[in-house]
Amino acid sequence: MKPLEIIRNCLILSLLLAMSMVTASAHADVVVIVSAKSSITLLTAAQTTRIFLGKVDSFPDDSDAFPIDQAEGSAIRDEFYSKVVHKSPSQLAAYWAKVIFTGDGRPPEMLESDMAVRKAVAKNPNAIGYIDKSAVDKSVRVILAP
């Protein structure tokens, strides 16, 4: 192959890769929710990150924050951590390995589905979770749509 052809092929390949990433990320729409009874109306991605990584245990208004995770390996969990926290599943596992084995904390409790998370968040004014946009109803409030 001539050098020009190699460069052209590389460009095409990277374009295809970029396109496949765009379609992949447009798949689901994760939103961060609190109970409709909560006084929290808005949270930044950075504030949400700190709550889910256990770096703080309260909301910016000092009320207790109780984060709820979704099941390991679920698409919604991977999307939340990639879009909001900027960590891949293995980066997240490595992070918790450090925290757990230094005795500094434990990962959030886990629930199995959008429905279960919505229900748990709806009845606890201190809870915070993430679900697919399509699962939102009046019992919860969206505070971040990344």
Partner 1 sequence: MAIGYYFFALIGIFACVTNAEATGTDQPMFTFGGFGSLGVSHSSMRLGDYTLDSTIPKGAGLSEDWSTGNDSRIAGHLAAQFTPKVSAVLQVVSEYNAGNSYQPEVEWANVKYAFTPDAYIRVGRIALPTFLDSDNRDVGYSYVWIHPPIELYRQLAIAHSDGVDAMYRVDIGEVGNTIKAIIYGENTIERATSKSISKDMWGIFDTIEYGPTTTHVGYQKRLSASENLQTGVTGAWVRNSDLSVGVNYDPGNWFAMSEWIQRKSTTNITAMYVSGGYRVKKFTPYLTYSQNSQGSFLPGFPPPSSNSILLANRAQSTVSLGVRWDFMKNTDLKLQYDQVKLSDNSNGFLANVPTNVNLYGTTFHVISAVVDFVF
Cβ distance to partner 1 smaller for residue 105 or 115 = 105
Q: How far is the CB of 34 from partner 1 (least distance, A)?
A: 18
- How many contiguous H segments (helices) and E segments (strands) does the chain have? 5, 5
Give the per-residue contact string, 34-73, with partner 1 (x = CB under 8 A; - = no).
----------x-xx--x----xxx--------------xx
In the list 87, 122, 129, 131, the residue contacting partner 1 (rule: CB under 8 A) is: 87
Burial class (CB in 10 A: 0-12, 13-18, 19+), 136: middle
Radius of gyration of the chain measured on its C-alpha atoms: 19
Cβ distance to partner 1 smaller for residue 50 or 119 = 50
75 interacts with partner 1 by CB under 8 A: no
Q: Which stretch binds partner 1 (CB under 8 A): 3-11, 25-33, 88-96, 138-146?
A: 88-96
101 interacts with partner 1 by CB under 8 A: yes
Closest CA to 114 of 122, 102, 106, 126: 122
CA 129, 57, 51, 115: dihedral to nearest 10 degrees? -10
119 interacts with partner 1 by CB under 8 A: no
**Distance (Å, whole) CA 83 – CA 120:** 23
DSSP state of 54: T
The residue type of 93 is A
Site residues, partner 1 (CB under 8 A) = 44, 46-47, 50, 55-57, 72-73, 86-91, 93-95, 97-98, 100-103, 106, 109
